[in-house]
Each structure stands twice: as structure tokens, then as C-alpha cells.
């Protein structure tokens, strides 16, 4: 039986939905949420914040693509993610997001300053900055990682900033552990060691709950990380989370391509999810003028 919840924005539809899902979970009944691709990560986060570990295990969140992959994996067949024409088109940041990133210089420094990688030939004042918000347990971030590697190699004069945003930390502890370790490696060993760790984690192919402490420790060891000298990075993680929420990102990955200085609405591109090489190349060219 199909039931529709109707009402305007702010009328309480979503709150009522989660109340009903919680009631089903408390009764031992499973629920599936089917949401747009860009909201899967934020939906997972909300489920765990509101329901905790025990009850959230009875709720699954899928996009149309991930649901198809799940069904075909269980029943046979295969599914390959493709980018629709609409999804492949990036959109410029406008209004409030633009004011957060551009007008407030302190915030802009926060966007591109706390964790970044500039490859050896890049200028510290590269004209273009590419910012990625990601979670090591995010399957779509994992798919984006080799794309970003190629883009980094192709653009030695572009600045790349990585934002550790462990939105799956409430569900998988290793999500938070990997993010903390990455920040600590950057602070302790610098950009090259950080990028080696970052790519090494994704190269394991372990995501969606499969990333382990052993995976993290192995990649940290390769980067020369000394856990005994690890810094407290909780404030940095909190600032990244606050920033992501403030600029309106709904999940991972989230990629922003913008001029390092003098940005305008027309020169900024945001990818609220996966981006292919061609789209990133076009956004970098646009941001570089």
C-alpha cells in the first residue's frame, strides 16, 4: 500500500518519516530509504545520529544506482555506474554558499588552508584550487580517487585541498580513525606522505564498512607515521564538518573548483558527487580564466 506524506517545506514531513522508521525498527522491522544520489551520505549520517547503532542496523539507505547494484549483486548480473547528462553537468555556487567561500576571507582560508597537497612542481600560489570533501568509507569517493590522481598529475600548477569529512563515523569507527590518521600524518610528515596515505587507503578497495584498522595502520606505516607523536586533530575535524554544513554540502564526495584568489560566481564549479575527468578539466579551465 502506497502512502504519501504531503506538506510544504518545514511542515515536519521528514521528522514524521524518521519517527515512523524508528517505530518500525523498535518493532524489529526493517526499512529501506530510497533517496537521490547526492543525499545518500547525509541520509546515512542522520539515520545513525537519530537512531544509534542498534536500531540503525535495521535501516538501509539506497540511491537508484546503489539499489540496482545491491540487487544485481545478490541475484546475479552486474551494474556499472554511469553519469547521466544532468548529473555530469556541474553547477556554480550561488547566494549563501558564494558568500561563505568568497566574501569572508577567514572562511576562505579555512576552506583551502587546513589540509592541502601541492605537488612538487606546483606554485604555492597556484591560480586554481580544487577542494574535495570525502570519507574513506564512501564508495563514490573511492571511485573518484583514481580520477583525482590523474587530474593532479595533469595539473602541476593547480592546488589540491583534501577535506577529511568522516560522515560515516557513526556507523563505521574506522571511517573516523582513517580521517584522524590522515590529518595527523599531514601535520607530522607533510603533503607527500599524506597523499601517499590517502591514495593507499583507497587502493585497498575497502569501503562501505570493509576498511579495517589494519588497513589504516599499514598505510600509515608506509607513510612513516609515528602514532606516539600524533597531534590532536578533533578541532580540525569539527571545523571541516561545520564548514561542510555551512556551505550546504549534503554528502560525499563534494568537489569545489575555484580560483585561489579573485573568484566570482561564474568561475566556481561544484560537483555534489562523482565527477569525471572531462568535467573536472573543464572546471579547472574555467576557474583559471
- The per-residue pLDDT string of the chain (289 residues; one tens digit each, 9 = 90 and over) reads 567 777 766 677 778 888 888 888 899 988 888 876 556 666 776 777 778 778 888 888 777 666 766 676 666 554 443 333 333 333 333 333 443 344 333 444 444 443 444 433 355 567 888 889 999 999 999 999 999 999 999 998 888 888 999 988 888 899 999 999 999 998 898 888 999 999 999 999 999 899 999 999 999 999 999 999 998 888 888 888 888 877 777 788 989 898 887 777 788 888 888 889 999 999 999 998 8
Return d(Cα 216, Cα 197) in angstroms, integer. Answer: 9
Those residues with Cβ within 8 angstroms of residue 157's Cβ, 6 or more apart along the chain or in another chain: 121, 122, 123, 126, 127, 128
What are the beta bridge partners of residue 270? 91, 256
- Residue 53: other Cβ atoms inside 10 A: 10
Return d(Cα 183, Cα 174) in angstroms, integer. Answer: 14
pLDDT at 41: 61
249 within 8 A of 140, measured Cβ to Cβ: no
Of residues 151, 33, 140, 133, the one with CA closest to residue 82:
140
Q: Between β-strands 59-62 and 31-34, what pairing exists: parallel, antiparallel or unpaired?
A: parallel
Those residues with Cβ within 8 angstroms of residue 247's Cβ, 6 or more apart along the chain or in another chain: 93, 97, 100, 101
pLDDT at 240: 84
Q: How many helices (H) and strands (E) does the chain have?
A: 12, 7
pLDDT at 241: 84
State the cell numbers at 44. 546515512
Those residues with Cβ within 8 angstroms of residue 272's Cβ, 6 or more apart along the chain or in another chain: 38, 91, 249, 250, 251, 254
Q: Coil, strand or helix: which one is 181? A: helix
Amino acid at each position: 500500500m502506497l502512502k504519501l506524506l504531503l506538506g510544504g517545506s518545514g511542515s515536519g514531513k521528514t521528522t514524521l518519516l524518521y519517527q515512523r522508521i524508528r517505530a518500525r525498527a523498535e518493532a524489529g522491522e526493517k526499512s529501506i530509504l530510497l533517496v537521490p544520489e547526492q543525499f545518500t551520505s547525509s541520509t546515512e549520517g542522520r539515520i545513525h545520529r537519530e537512531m544509534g547503532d542498534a536500531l540503525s542496523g535495521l535501516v538501509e539507505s539506497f540511491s537508484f544506482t546503489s539499489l540496482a547494484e545491491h540487487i544485481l549483486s545478490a541475484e546475479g548480473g552486474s551494474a556499472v555506474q554511469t553519469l547521466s547528462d544532468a548529473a555530469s553537468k556541474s553547477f556554480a555556487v550561488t547566494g549563501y554558499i558564494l558568500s561563505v567561500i568568497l566574501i569572508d576571507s577567514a572562511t576562505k582560508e579555512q576552506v583551502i588552508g587546513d589540509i592541502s597537497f601541492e605537488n612538487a612542481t606546483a606554485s604555492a600560489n597556484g591560480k586554481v584550487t580544487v577542494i574535495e570533501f570525502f570519507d574513506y568509507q564512501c564508495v563514490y569517493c573511492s571511485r573518484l580517487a583514481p580520477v583525482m590522481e590523474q587530474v593532479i598529475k595533469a595539473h602541476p600548477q593547480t592546488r589540491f585541498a583534501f577535506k577529511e569529512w568522516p560522515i560515516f563515523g557513526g556507523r563505521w569507527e574506522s571511517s573516523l580513525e582513517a580521517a584522524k590518521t590522515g590529518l595527523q600524518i599531514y601535520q607530522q610528515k607533510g603533503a607527500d606522505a599524506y597523499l601517499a596515505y590517502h591514495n593507499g587507503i583507497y587502493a585497498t578497495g575497502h569501503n562501505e564498512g570493509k576498511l579495517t584498522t589494519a588497513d589504516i595502520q599499514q598505510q600509515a606505516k608506509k607513510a612513516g607515521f609515528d602514532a606516539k607523536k600524533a597531534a590532536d586533530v578533533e578541532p580540525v575535524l569539527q571545523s571541516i564538518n561545520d564548514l561542510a554544513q555551512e556551505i550546504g554540502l549534503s554528502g560525499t564526495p563534494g568537489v569545489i573548483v575555484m580560483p585561489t584568489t579573485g573568484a566570482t560566481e561564474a568561475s566556481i564549479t561544484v560537483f555534489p558527487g562523482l565527477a569525471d575527468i572531462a568535467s573536472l578539466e573543464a572546471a579547472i579551465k574555467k576557474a583559471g580564466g
